[in-house]
Amino acid sequence: MTIQSSIEEKLLSAFSPLHLDVVNESNQHNVAPGSESHFKVIIVTSEFEGERLIKRHRAVNAVLAIELAEHIHALALHTYTEKEWNDYYADNTPLSPNCLGGSKKS
Protein backbone atom coordinates (compact mmCIF):
# COMPACT_ATOMS: atom_id res chain seq x y z
CA MET A 1 0.00 0.00 0.00
CA THR A 2 1.30 3.46 -0.86
CA ILE A 3 1.61 6.20 1.75
CA GLN A 4 -1.03 8.20 -0.15
CA SER A 5 -3.46 5.26 -0.04
CA SER A 6 -2.82 4.78 3.67
CA ILE A 7 -3.54 8.47 4.34
CA GLU A 8 -6.76 8.33 2.32
CA GLU A 9 -7.96 5.13 4.00
CA LYS A 10 -7.28 6.38 7.52
CA LEU A 11 -8.91 9.78 6.99
CA LEU A 12 -11.98 8.26 5.30
CA SER A 13 -12.39 5.88 8.22
CA ALA A 14 -11.80 8.43 10.97
CA PHE A 15 -13.79 11.40 9.65
CA SER A 16 -16.32 10.17 7.05
CA PRO A 17 -15.56 13.32 5.04
CA LEU A 18 -17.90 14.97 2.57
CA HIS A 19 -14.81 15.76 0.50
CA LEU A 20 -11.28 14.40 0.73
CA ASP A 21 -8.38 15.17 -1.55
CA VAL A 22 -4.92 13.81 -0.78
CA VAL A 23 -2.29 15.16 -3.16
CA ASN A 24 1.26 13.89 -3.31
CA GLU A 25 3.28 17.08 -3.83
CA SER A 26 6.67 15.41 -3.48
CA ASN A 27 7.51 16.07 -7.14
CA GLN A 28 7.53 19.80 -6.34
CA HIS A 29 10.35 19.34 -3.86
CA ASN A 30 14.00 18.31 -3.83
CA VAL A 31 13.38 14.57 -3.37
CA ALA A 32 13.95 11.46 -5.46
CA PRO A 33 11.44 10.74 -8.23
CA GLY A 34 8.52 8.64 -6.97
CA SER A 35 8.91 9.84 -3.38
CA GLU A 36 5.95 10.07 -1.03
CA SER A 37 7.17 12.61 1.47
CA HIS A 38 5.19 15.83 0.88
CA PHE A 39 1.38 15.85 0.89
CA LYS A 40 -1.53 18.25 0.81
CA VAL A 41 -4.77 17.14 2.44
CA ILE A 42 -8.06 18.90 1.85
CA ILE A 43 -10.73 17.48 4.10
CA VAL A 44 -14.31 18.62 4.62
CA THR A 45 -16.25 17.02 7.46
CA SER A 46 -19.05 17.81 9.86
CA GLU A 47 -16.73 16.70 12.67
CA PHE A 48 -14.97 20.07 12.38
CA GLU A 49 -18.13 22.05 13.25
CA GLY A 50 -17.37 24.41 16.13
CA GLU A 51 -13.72 23.34 16.31
CA ARG A 52 -10.80 25.74 16.10
CA LEU A 53 -8.18 25.22 13.41
CA ILE A 54 -5.57 23.90 15.87
CA LYS A 55 -7.95 21.20 17.13
CA ARG A 56 -8.80 20.16 13.56
CA HIS A 57 -5.13 19.83 12.69
CA ARG A 58 -4.36 17.92 15.86
CA ALA A 59 -7.18 15.49 15.08
CA VAL A 60 -5.80 14.81 11.59
CA ASN A 61 -2.24 14.54 12.92
CA ALA A 62 -3.37 12.02 15.54
CA VAL A 63 -4.93 9.81 12.86
CA LEU A 64 -1.76 10.02 10.75
CA ALA A 65 0.72 9.70 13.64
CA ILE A 66 2.56 6.70 12.19
CA GLU A 67 2.85 8.22 8.72
CA LEU A 68 4.10 11.50 10.18
CA ALA A 69 6.67 9.75 12.36
CA GLU A 70 7.96 7.35 9.72
CA HIS A 71 7.29 8.65 6.21
CA ILE A 72 5.95 12.17 5.79
CA HIS A 73 8.31 15.15 5.75
CA ALA A 74 5.65 17.81 5.12
CA LEU A 75 1.87 17.82 5.42
CA ALA A 76 -0.18 20.83 4.33
CA LEU A 77 -3.61 20.63 5.97
CA HIS A 78 -6.72 22.40 4.73
CA THR A 79 -9.55 21.49 7.11
CA TYR A 80 -13.10 22.75 6.58
CA THR A 81 -16.67 22.40 7.65
CA GLU A 82 -19.20 21.92 4.87
CA LYS A 83 -20.32 25.56 5.12
CA GLU A 84 -16.74 26.89 4.98
CA TRP A 85 -15.99 24.73 1.96
CA ASN A 86 -19.13 25.74 0.09
CA ASP A 87 -18.75 29.43 0.95
CA TYR A 88 -15.08 29.86 0.14
CA TYR A 89 -13.25 26.98 -1.48
CA ALA A 90 -15.43 24.59 -3.47
CA ASP A 91 -14.39 26.24 -6.75
CA ASN A 92 -10.93 27.46 -5.67
CA THR A 93 -8.75 24.73 -4.15
CA PRO A 94 -6.20 26.21 -1.72
CA LEU A 95 -2.52 26.05 -2.60
CA SER A 96 0.21 24.68 -0.37
CA PRO A 97 3.02 26.98 0.73
CA ASN A 98 6.23 26.95 -1.31
CA CYS A 99 8.93 24.57 -0.14
CA LEU A 100 11.77 26.31 1.66
CA GLY A 101 13.99 23.42 0.59
CA GLY A 102 15.76 22.06 3.62
CA SER A 103 18.45 20.62 1.35
CA LYS A 104 18.25 23.05 -1.57
CA LYS A 105 21.20 25.28 -2.30
CA SER A 106 20.61 29.03 -2.74
Asked whether residue 18 is domain-assigned, the answer is yes
Report residue 46: phi and psi, to 5°. -70, -20
Whether 103 is covered by a domain: the verdict is no
Considering its fold, how many domains does the chain have in total?
1
Q: Is residue 94 part of a domain?
A: no
Categorise residue 35: left if φ over 0, alpha if ψ from -120 to 50, beta otherwise: beta
What pLDDT score does 106 carry?
Answer: 42
The answer to whether residue 100 is domain-embedded is: no
Query: Where residue 76 sits, what CATH number does that domain have?
Result: 3.30.300.90
Which domain range does residue 61 map to? Answer: 3-89
Q: 0.85 exceeded by the pTM?
A: no
In a domain, 106, yes or no: no
Q: What is the spatial distance between Cα 84 and Cα 49, in angstroms, rounded to a whole number?
A: 10
104, part of any domain: no
Distance CA 35, CA 20 (A): 21
**Distances 45 to 64, 83, 102 between C-alpha atoms, Å:** 16, 10, 33
24 beta partners: 39
Do the domain assignments include residue 69? yes
Chunked mean pLDDT (size 10), the chain, 106 residues? 95 97 84 82 97 98 96 93 85 63 51
